A and B are shown apart, each in its own frame.
Chain A
Amino acid sequence: MSLADLIDAFVNLDENRVLGIVEKLLREGTDPSEILEACRKATTIIGERFERGEYFLSELVFASEIFNSVMRVVLPELKRETKPLGTIVLGTVQGDIHDIGKNIFKAFAEAAGFKVIDLGVDVPPERFVDAVRTHNPDIVGMSGLLTISYESMKKTVNALKEAGLRDRVRVIVGGGRMDEHVKRYVGADEWADNAMLGIRKCKEMLGLGG
């Protein structure tokens, strides 16, 4: 069983096979970072299938679940931390508790090589500000699906401005009802209504190409 088998099992969302292969690879002494790299390749392929309309959200939910299970086993084994592409402070904005999409974005962003600081749901502006001070991220990612979330996102951007931090980060808003209108209303730099697009835009904002 090889890394190629792992990718194949992951892409086909064969949960048990993925976990079995990972365990075996670790036992055989495979470098954990190579396992993560294989997962990154797998999630990239899954993302492509999603964008081509072959996979749907339920497949992304399942893929995130598998990715998280793999991370639980592999992370403790990881000797050297690889340098992340960038750091994202992520949260569902105040008043909103929808986080299935946010969690998918998180899993796929981590798989793509970002470090993600997840603040959870119903996150008030002050907590975003504090997290930016503490973690000095490259990107602030706000998730939200409710109509009240537009307001919370705007408040958060304003709070970043007042704290003098707005210029130090790029801001992306994500969720099913995001578009140019929302981006302008909120004062964000980018928007995304699916995780793959969001990851592309995060990379672009950091000058990493799509």
Chain B
Amino acid sequence: MTGAELKSPEDLLKERFGRVEKAIELGEPDRVPLIIFTCGDILRKYAKGYELYFNYDRAREVSVRFATEYPVDVFLAALAAEGFIFALAFSDYPDIAPSVRFWTGPMHDALGDKYTRWPGRELPEDSIFQFIGGQFMEAKEYCKLSDDPITFLNEVILPRSCLNLEKPNSEKANVALIRLGVEVSRYLKFLGDSAADLAKVGVPSLPLTFAYAPLDFIGDFLRYPTGALLDVRRHPDDVKRACEALVEPILKVALSLKPAGAKYAFIPLHLNEYLSPKLYNEFYWPTLKKIIVALYEQGIKSLVFFEGWHDPHLETILELPRGWGIAYFEKTDVRKAKKILGGHTCIMGGVPPSLLLEATPDKIKGYIKDILSEVKPGGGFILSPGVADIPMPVPPENLRALIDAVEEYGRY
């Protein structure tokens, strides 16, 4: 970015992070911030999928390489799979719970979990990992989940969903947990080192913690997404009770990173797009709202990733306290979101991955110019590719065009 090379990394960090914070506080920074997330796709420019998820040194190297070549206001590489079920199962232990929130390749080796598949293991070496989920709970077990979620997860679900934990107290299971522990400490070191690498080149990370919408937890880890949807019709009261029962442990997980300085809780939403407003307001939103509000009251703002098309539920966001956090949109048009939520909610998103993939740099710049002219005024807006990743074949000049365009048209 222009003039960036003249500033020290410390100054750049302050400037970039300040920009993002200002937008989150619903203000107008010096220009619209640009945030890039990846689960690894774009980093396959530099390394095979296998290396990204199994070799922490390589992962560090390529993350900082990307951030150096394409400096943005926050860069976040989540090179690990969804492992929220572990965080939840251990939520009474704040020193452990957040560390097992994500699973890397070696953690998969340790656990033999059936939720994920990995390059160099179940998959070819050059692919990205796959979270495939599964059905590990019967519909008739909802009451056990609701009565005592932690015991049920530890004693029933983990043995079912992780090959190496099949027989609790067996040698195999105990060794698996020790292996997991060893791996977790390597992973935590990697996270710390990686953030430090990025800081050295002046690119901030976000101090994140994590939460989950209760119904999504049921869909992703216990009943499969379609199973959860069918349960909403076939066993509505059981589903509601279970969602309520999950609120407290989810909050415990999210708050466990507060002492370490976490400021934002990332919450990716999955079943939101599927539900009619009636079902959303009955089964999904009440418990999610409780979580967002409780975190806000504890000084943690949520970064909610409204995956898919969230249009039918946009107005419900206004039920949250003003300045509650960041609404990251995917298919919902950020212009429409800004009209409805502007001044109340910080909005993030705006760049479809297909545009970066196929359009020319000029088209991309034109697109960003147009969109910013509508959503920039009044502040409270963060530009970001819509799906929390960028396709690997995106030409470098297109990525450059994205960065240049915010610089050119994002100034206040």
The answer to whether B41 touches A147, judged by C-beta atoms less than 8 angstroms apart, is: yes
Which single residue of chain B is at the shortest CB-CB distance from A184?
Answer: B358
- Contact A58-B358, Cβ < 8 Å, known A147-B353, A147-B387, A179-B352: no
A100 and B226 in contact (CB under 8 A), knowing A147-B353, A148-B41, A181-B355?
Answer: yes
Find chain B residues with CB under 8 A from A61 CB: 226, 229-230, 274
Q: Are A56 and B354 in contact (CB under 8 A)?
A: no
Cβ–Cβ < 8 Å partners of B178 in chain A: none
Roughly how many angstroms separate A167 CA and B354 CA in the complex, as a whole number? Answer: 25
Pairwise interchain contact B392-A151, C-beta atoms closer than 8 A:
yes
Whether A59 is near chain B, meaning CB under 8 Å from some CB there, is yes
- Stretch of B10-18, B125-133, B251-259, B340-348 with 4 or more beta carbons under 8 angstroms from chain A: B125-133
Within residues 267 to 317 of chain B, which ones have a CB less than 8 A from any CB in chain A? Answer: 271, 273-276, 279, 308-309, 312
A150–B229 contact, CB under 8 A?
Answer: no
Residues in A whose Cβ lies below 8 Å from that of B279 = 56, 58
A97 to B387, CA, bound (A): 17
| Complex CA–CA separation, A122 to B117 (angstroms) | 12
Q: How many residues of A contact B (CB 8 A)?
A: 28
Cβ contacts under 8 Å, B230 to chain A: 61-62, 65
Q: A147-B41, A182-B354 are in contact. Are A55 and B276 (CB under 8 A)?
A: yes
**Which residue of B is nearest A178, CB measured?**
B354
0/1 interface trace, chain A 29-73, chain B, CB 8 Å (1 if under): 000000000000000000000000101111101100100000000
Please measure, in the bound complex, the distance between the C-alpha atom of A52 and the C-alpha atom of B124, giving whole angstroms.
43
Residues of B within 8 A of A62 (CB): 229-230, 233
Say whether, besides A95-B128, A148-B391, A177-B352, A57 and B273 are in contact (CB < 8 Å).
yes
A145 nearest in chain B by CB position: B387
Separation of A57 and B279 alpha carbons in the complex (Å): 11
Q: Is the CB of B275 within 8 A of A58?
A: yes
> Which residues on B sit within 8 Å (CB–CB) of A95?
127-128, 130
B392:A176 contact, CB within 8 angstroms: no
Indicate if the CB atoms of B354 and A58 lie closer than 8 Å: no
Q: Could you tell me the distance in whole angstroms from the C-beta of A150 to the nearest C-beta in chain B?
A: 5
Chain B residue nearest in CB terms to A191? B354
A58 touches B352 (CB 8 A): no
Q: Could you say which residues of chain B place their CB within 8 Å of the CB of A147?
A: 41, 353, 387, 389-392
For the complex of A and B, 4 pairs with smallest distance between CB atoms? A181-B354, A181-B358, A57-B274, A147-B391
